[in-house]
Amino acid sequence: MPLGFKVAIKKMKKKYYSWEECVTLREVKSLRRMNHPNIVKLKEVIRENDILYFVFEYMECNLYQLMKDREKLFSEVNIRNWCFQVFQGLAYMHQRGYFHRDLKPENLLVTKDIIKIADFGLAREISSRPPYTEYVSTRWYRAPEVLLQSYLYTSKVDMWAMGAIMAELFTLHPLFPGTSEADEIYKICSVVGTPTENSWPDGLNLARTINYQFPQQVMLQ
């Protein structure tokens, strides 16, 4: 790496006592297999005194920082450009057998008009066998099937998160700012309607499994 080259360094909290431990980390495995202009590039992995450092390409800020305290709405051109790039990165990821599971504005890094997907600590191989862990993604961007404790979710959870982020870019307000899992589901139903046997039978089955009753909202036309 040339001198004077600006990078971003992520220091891991856990100590790693062997290099073998490091190379099997999910984030290392997934990022090493990906090379796309809209996925942040892992340049180097360093272990020093049992502390692990990830060296990434430098990006100026994240999407959350751009939206925070902003009063003027983004132009539609900007939003379309950013979303197109993220969807390109997601398509690449999904085609190569991975889904992210933690998409949120903080994990989308921006430099000028370029946006890149970052933080693959929760990424999963599509071919890996469920059950997956229940906790994925900040609550506001979590897909309904995950909120209902499904362990069989797919890469569709990334698309749900991106839909919520897209709406937030247009309004500068989170689409589903739930204060708990139950409130999150309530807010989702208040926007898209309560699921029925016709619209989402799998969701009703998940709810029955955990003895959950959906809020009785008026169905949206």
| β partners of residue 42 | 56
Annotated active-site residue 102? The verdict is: yes
Three-class SS state of 41: coil
Task: List strands edge to edge, sheet with 7-15.
Answer: 7-15, 51-57, 42-48
Cβ-contact 117, 90 below 8 angstroms: yes
Our measurement of the distance from residue 94's CA atom to the centroid of its chain's CA atoms, rounded to an integer in Å, reads: 13
Non-local CB neighbours of 177 within 8 Å, separated by 6+ positions: 140, 187
Three-class SS state of 87: helix
Non-local CB neighbours of 25 within 8 Å, separated by 6+ positions: 52
**CA 116 to CA 82: how far, in whole Å?**
9
Cβ-contact 118, 34 below 8 angstroms: no
Non-local CB neighbours of 150 within 8 Å, separated by 6+ positions: 206
**Residue of 104, 91, 75, 101 whose CA lies nearest to 39:** 91
**Residue of 9, 8, 12 whose CA lies nearest to 51:** 12
102, 113, 158, 202: the catalytic one is 102
Query: Hey, which residues are catalytic here?
Result: 102
